[in-house]
Structure 1
C-alpha cells in the first residue's frame, strides 16, 4: 500500500506581493501557524514572519528583548499579529511568555512608543480604537485592548522580575511555574503547550515555526533537533538566517515545493535518528535510488535542488535542510 503524501512549502517566507510558480500546497492553505521565539539572534526575515498575522506566540526566556526592538505585535478581537502566512485570515488570541520573556514585553513594548507614557501603553483600554496604521520605517499600531499583557507566563520563574510578575498577575495573566520540570528544554515545553492549545481545529494542519533554534551552543541545537523527533507527528520548522530544517517522518512520502526566490539550491538529507536502508528521491542533482544512509557511511549533504518539487520516500525518519537566500 502506498504511503500517504505530506507536502511542504516555505511560502510563509514569501513577500505578499511576490509571485510563485506554484500556489501553496492544498494543506498549507488551511494551515494554522504558530511561532516560537528562542533566546538566540533572530533571523533577518523575522519581521516578515511577525507581520504576517499569525496565531500563537510562545516566547522563551529572555527572548523578547531583541524581538521587540524590531517589531510591534498587536491584537484585535480576531487577530494576534505575531507571525506568518498572508493567507491566514483568523487567529487565536493567546500570548505566552516563558519566564523572563515577560520582562521583555514589559520593558520593550513601551520603547516602541516613546511618545506615550509606558503605563498607558501597557494599560490601553479595550474600548480604545482598534484601527492600525503602519509607516515604511516603523510598525506603530494604534490599537485597543491590553495588547501587551501575556495570557500565560510559563517557566522556572527564576528570570521574571517580581514586579513584572505581580503587574501581569494583577491584570489577569495566568502564571504557570514549571520549575519542577528540569528534564525538557524550553522548546519542548512550548511545543507541548501549543499541542495542548492548538490554534487550529486539526492537529494535522498545525505548523510551528521556530526562530532562534540554530546558532549558539551545539548541545542546544541538538536539543532543538531532538524536539523534531519527540513530536514527529507535528510539522515543526527550525529557522535561521542560513537554512531551514524539518523532519520527514517515515510514515509518509514527501513532496517539498521549492520556493526558488528564497531557498536553495543547497540541501541535505540526514538520517540523524537511525540509519536508512532505503531512501529514494527525485528532483535533486544527486538523487538517491533505494540507497542506504548512515553516519559513518553515506549521508546526502551538499546536494543541489534541480526541480520545482523534490519527492522523498524512506524507511527511516530523515532531517531535511535547505539553504535560505540572502
Structure 2
C-alpha cells in the first residue's frame, strides 16, 4: 500500500522538508506559488520558469526574498534582464543544450545530482505547472512522469486548477485535504492499453472495472465529503483532482 497526501499545498515551511520544487514556464497565481515555495527546501527554475518567478513580483525588494537555488535549461526562453538579475544575486544558471532532453528533464537531472552528491534521501518533487498550456508539453509531462514512477517515489504536478500524479500498479491510500481540494477527480489510463480499477471514497466507486481509452474512463468523478480515497489498479494510471480557489491566501511577506 502506497500512501499519498497533498500537505505541500498547506504552505507549511516547517512540515514538508524533503520536497524539491521545479517552476515550469507556465502561468500560476501568487497564492499557489507561495504555498508550494514554502513547502519545499530546494527550488529550481526550468529556463523560462525564471521569467514567471521574476514577473510575479513588482519590486526587487520582495523579489530578492524568493531566489531559486538553480536555473537550468537550454536558456532559449529566459529573458536577458531576468538572467542578469538572478546571476547578479548569485543564483547559478546552467545552460544545457542537449536537444534530447527537455528543460524539465534537465532540472530533474540536477535534483538527482544533488541527491547523489549529498547522499541524501530522495526528494519528493513538486512541479509548478505542466498540466496546462501547450498540448505537446502536457503530453510530454504525462509521459515523463509515467516513466519516472520506476525511479522516483513521488513527482506531483500542480496548477491553479488541479493536481495530479501517477499511481503505479498496486494499492494506494490517498489522504484527502478537503480544505484545498475540490470535489471533482479522475482516473486516467494514460500510456497503457487498459487497467482494472477498484476504489472507495468516491461518489461513483469502481469494482474490478476495466478502464481504457477505447472503453470507460472515470472522469468527473467526485470525492465524498470527509472521506479519504483507496485505489487499486492493475496498471499505472494518472490520478487528478481539482483545487479549490486558494487565491485568498494571505499576502506574501
Find the aligned partners of 1:64 and 1:182 in 2 and give their Cα distance.
20
State the shift of 1:163 in Å.
Answer: 9.2
Q: Give runs of aligned pairs for residues 6-25 of structure 1, distance below 5 A.
A: 6-14=2-10
User: How far apart are 1:230 and its partner, in Å?
Assistant: 2.0
Seen in structure 2, the aligned counterparts of structure 1 residues 171 and 185 have a Cα distance that, compared at 3 Å, is same
Aligned counterpart in structure 2 of residue 287 of structure 1, from 198, 205, 222: 205
| Greater relative CO, 1 or 2 (CA 8 Å, sep 6+) | 2
Alignment of 1:49 with 2:36, yes or no, is yes
Q: What CA deviation, in whole Å up to 9, does each residue of 1:54-92 have, x standing for no partner? A: 221110122223323435xxxxxxxxxxxxxxxxxxxxx
Alignment of 1:170-181 (within 5 A): 176-179=94-97, 181=98
Per-residue Cα deviation, 1:260-309 (whole angstroms, up to 9, x for no partner): 11102110001111133421111111111111111020011111111521
Among residues 187, 190, 202, which one is paired with 2:107 in the alignment? 190
Greater Rg by CA:
1
Q: Which runs of 4+ in 1 moved over 6 A?
A: 161-173
TM-superposition CA deviations, 1:91-132 (whole Å, max 9, x none): xxxxxxxxxxxxxxxxx8xx322xxxxxxxxxxxxxxxxxxx
For the Cα contact (< 8 Å) 1:35–1:208, is it kept in 2? yes
Aligned pairs for 1:69-218 within 5 A? 69-70=55-56, 111-113=59-61, 152-158=70-76, 176-179=94-97, 181-198=98-115, 201-203=120-122, 206-218=123-135
Once residues 57 and 286 of structure 1 are traced to their aligned partners in structure 2, the CA distance between those partners, rounded to angstroms, is: 38
Q: RMSD between aligned alpha carbons?
A: 3.1
- Offset of residue 41 of structure 1: 0.5
Q: TM-score, normalised by structure 1?
A: 0.64
| Aligned equivalents of 2:196, 2:139: Cα separation in 1 | 25
For the structure 1 residues 275 and 157, does the alpha-carbon distance in structure 2 shift closer, same or farther, using more than 3 Å as the test?
Answer: closer
Aligned counterparts of 2:87 and 2:120: Cα–Cα separation in 1: 29
